[in-house]
Amino acid sequence: MADMNFFSFLRIQPFVLEAILLQGKRPDVSKLIGWEFKGHNIGLLPRLGRILKFKKGFVSFGDEVIGYNVLVEQNSPSEPWVALPDESSPKRHGFFKVYPAEFSPKHNLYPNALLLDYSKGGNPIWDPSRVLRDYLVQPFEDNDDLYLGKAYAEIFGKTIFVGFFVLERYNKSNFKI
């Protein structure tokens, strides 16, 4: 039977992605920890900024779950996700705290989602990633390898839509904070 995969999300209109986000379920964080996921931004802004491919990883830190981004080569989506500056010492940046969106007093647009809160990830004050707030859902209950996200930026108290992104389980990671 035909099914949706990582590449399906790159071909879907925003109004359909929104519907998928609304019906998705909150990811089980225990299925995220210790893994890195290949990611692809969807939308005009990331396309203009020429940052389409990335990786996201998740680690436990005491009682909390912290996530991070990995810079990767901006090659075609059909090619492998290659970490920069090199695979053995990838640049991890844009750290975020992971918790259910319904617990956030301000960023609870999608209570069925996890919130990836970059303001609580311990990033330096000058790091622009601190403005990001991502929602993350698992579109299909029986597939915990595939996730859909929606990114917002909080600037001067206003929440601005940045774009959607898709994640797919890619590699295990021993990274520790």
Give me the amino acid identity at 92. Answer: R
Q: Tell me the number of residues near other proteins by CB under 8 A.
A: 20
What's the closest the beta carbon of residue 14 comes to other proteins, in angstroms?
A: 11
Q: Check residue 1 for interaction with other proteins (CB under 8 A).
A: yes
Per-residue interface string for the shown chain with other proteins, residues 101-140, x marking contact by CB under 8 A: ---------------------------------------x
Q: Check residue 2 for interaction with other proteins (CB under 8 A).
A: yes
3 state SS for the chain: CCCCCHHHHCCCCHHHHHHHHHHCECCCHHHCCCEEEEEEEECHHHHHCCCCEEEEEEEEECCEEEEEEECECCCCCCCCCCECCCCCCCCEEEEEEEEEHHHCCCCCCCCCCEEEEHHHCCCCCCCHHHHEEEEEEECCCCCCCEEEEEEEEEECCEEEEEEEEEEEEEEECCCCC
From the list 67, 39, 33, the residue with the least C-alpha distance to 170 is: 39
> Which stretch in 11-19, 49-57, 75-83, 167-175 sits in contact with other proteins by CB under 8 A?
11-19
Q: Which is nearer to other proteins, 22 or 160 (CB)?
A: 22
> Which stretch in 15-23, 75-83, 95-103, 104-112 sits in contact with other proteins by CB under 8 A?
15-23
Q: Which is nearer to other proteins, 18 or 102 (CB)?
A: 18
Q: Check residue 30 for interaction with other proteins (CB under 8 A).
A: no
Q: Check residue 161 for interaction with other proteins (CB under 8 A).
A: no
Per-residue interface string for the shown chain with other proteins, residues 135-154, x marking contact by CB under 8 A: -----x-x------------
